[in-house]
Amino acid sequence: MCGDMCNPFGAGPTQPVKNAGGGSNFNSKARSGPYVDPDFTFADFIAAWAYPFKFPIGLILGGIISSLLGIGVYLGMVTASIGGLFPGLMAMLVCGVLMVVIVYGSATKAVNQVAYGNMDETFMPNTEDFSIWNTILLPCFLGLGTCIVSWGPTVLVGIIIFKTFIGAMGELPKDIKPTGTKSQQTVLRAPNQGFGAKDPLQREIEGKSRESEANAIKRIQDLQKTPTSSFGLTPAQQPDQKANEEAMAAVMKKIAPRVLPLILLLLLASLWGVFYFPSALTVAGYTESIGATLNPLVGFGMMRQMGSNYFKAFGTYLLLLVFSVFIYGGVMIITAPLAAAGLGETPAHFISNMISFYLYLVIACTFGRALYRSHEKIGYSVDG
C-alpha cells in the first residue's frame, strides 16, 4: 500500500524501512535492505582510520605514485621559476593531472563503496573494465570539479592580490632612491680605456716590488676592518637604506585600502574551502556526476538530508585537519637535516604526499560512513 519495497526478515534485529516520500536528489536505488543504525558515532571515524590499512598494497602503491607525481609538480614549479617556463609548465600539467586521477579517483571510489556498506571493497580504480572515460577522465574531472567548487574562490582572490602587489611594485622605482653615495657607485669600464686614473689599490697590486705588494695587503686588511651594520651595510649606506624602507612603507600605505578588503575576502574564501570541500568530495563520490559536483545546491541538499550525521562527520574532519598540522610539522622537523645536507625539500614533499593520500582516504571513508548511516533519509538501499 505504501508503494515501497518489502523488507525481508532474517537473522538478527530488523526494522521496517519507512517510505521517505516524494523524490530525492540521490534516489538511485530502491529503498530496501538490512536495518542500519542511523546514528553516526565516533566508532565510524575509527573505522575510517582503519579502512585504508585493509588494502596495504593499494595504500603503499597509491601513496608512492601520488608522491612521485607531487614531486614532479614541485620540480616543474622550480624549473619554471628559473627560466624553463614551457618544460616546467608541461611537467606541472602532466604530473598534476595524473596525481588528481590517482588521489581523487581513489577517494571518490572510497566514498561510493563505503556509502553502500562495502567496507571490504578496495578504493583503487578498477582496471579490469578499463576505459579512458571511467578510469582516467571521469575521476580527473570529478577531482577538478571538487577543487574548483571548494578552492576556486580562494585561488581567484589570491591571483587578484598577487596582481595588485605586482602593480604596486611597478611604482617603487619612482619613489626609491639608489642605494649608496656617489663615491660608492662605480662604473664598469673596459681595461686600458683611459677613463680617469686607476684606483690606488689597483696601482699597488699591479706593482712588482715587494713594498707595493705589502702596501696592497695592508690596504685590503684596512678595508676588511671597515665597520658595518648587522645587515652588512657600511654607515654611509644606512641613510639610503632607511630612505628605501620609508619609500616602501609609503607604497604599502598607498595600496593598503585596496589590499585589506581582498585579504579579508581571501580569509572568507579559505573558510568556504575548508567548509565545503568534504561536501563536494562526498557528492562527487556518491553521484559520480560532474554537474552535481559543481553545483553547491546539490551539496547543501545532501547536508540537509543527512542532517546531524553530516555535521558529526564534519566535526571529525576538523579534528583531522588540526591533527594533520602537527603531522606535517613533524615531517618538516624530521626532514630538516636532509634538507641541510643538500637534498632540499624533496624528502619532505615525498613523505607529506604519502600522508596526504592516506588522509584523503580517511576523509572520504568518514563521509561515506555518514552517508551509509543516512541512507534511509536519502533514499537508497545498502548492501549490509
pLDDT at 88: 83
8 Å CB contact between 364 and 47: no
User: Do residues 344 and 317 share a domain?
Assistant: yes
Residue 80 identity: A
pLDDT at 259: 80
Our count of domains for the chain comes to 2
Q: Across the chain, which distance is largest between two alpha carbons, in Å?
A: 117
Residue 149 CA neighbour count, 13 Å, CB half: 26
Provide the residue range defining the domain that includes 73.
42-171+261-378
User: Do residues 88 and 227 share a domain?
Assistant: no
Query: Which of 136, 128, 157, 360 is CA-nearest to residue 270?
Result: 157
d(CA 78, CA 23): 52
User: Do residues 194 and 294 share a domain?
Assistant: no
User: Do residues 295 and 237 share a domain?
Assistant: no
d(CA 336, CA 345): 8
Last residue of a domain, one of 247, 273, 300: 247
pLDDT at 7: 64
Tally of helices (H runs) and strands (E runs) in the chain: 14, 0
User: Do residues 161 and 199 share a domain?
Assistant: no
Considering the domain boundaries, does residue 1 fall inside one?
no
Considering the domain boundaries, does residue 383 fall inside one?
no
d(CA 215, CA 211): 6
Considering the domain boundaries, does residue 301 fall inside one?
yes
Considering the domain boundaries, does residue 271 fall inside one?
yes
pLDDT at 225: 57
Considering the domain boundaries, does residue 228 fall inside one?
yes
Considering the domain boundaries, does residue 56 fall inside one?
yes
pLDDT at 228: 52
Number of Cβ atoms within 10 Å of the Cβ of 127: 7
User: Do residues 218 and 344 share a domain?
Assistant: no
User: Do residues 224 and 346 share a domain?
Assistant: no
User: Do residues 104 and 86 share a domain?
Assistant: yes
Query: Which of 358, 355, 338 is CA-nearest to residue 347?
Result: 338
Give me 212's grid cell: 707595493
User: Do residues 81 and 146 share a domain?
Assistant: yes
8 Å CB contact between 132 and 141: no
Considering the domain boundaries, does residue 327 fall inside one?
yes
pLDDT at 131: 76
Considering the domain boundaries, does residue 16 fall inside one?
no
User: Do residues 157 and 270 share a domain?
Assistant: yes
Give me 139's grid cell: 575521476
pLDDT at 19: 42
pLDDT at 186: 44
User: Do residues 105 and 208 share a domain?
Assistant: no
Q: What spatial distance separates the first Cα and last Cα of the chain, rounded to whole Å?
A: 26
Give me 171's grid cell: 611604482
Regions of the chain with pLDDT less than 70: 1-34, 125-129, 168-240, 243-244, 247-248, 250-251, 384
d(CA 250, CA 42): 54
User: Do residues 122 and 194 share a domain?
Assistant: no
Last residue of a domain, one of 199, 222, 247: 247
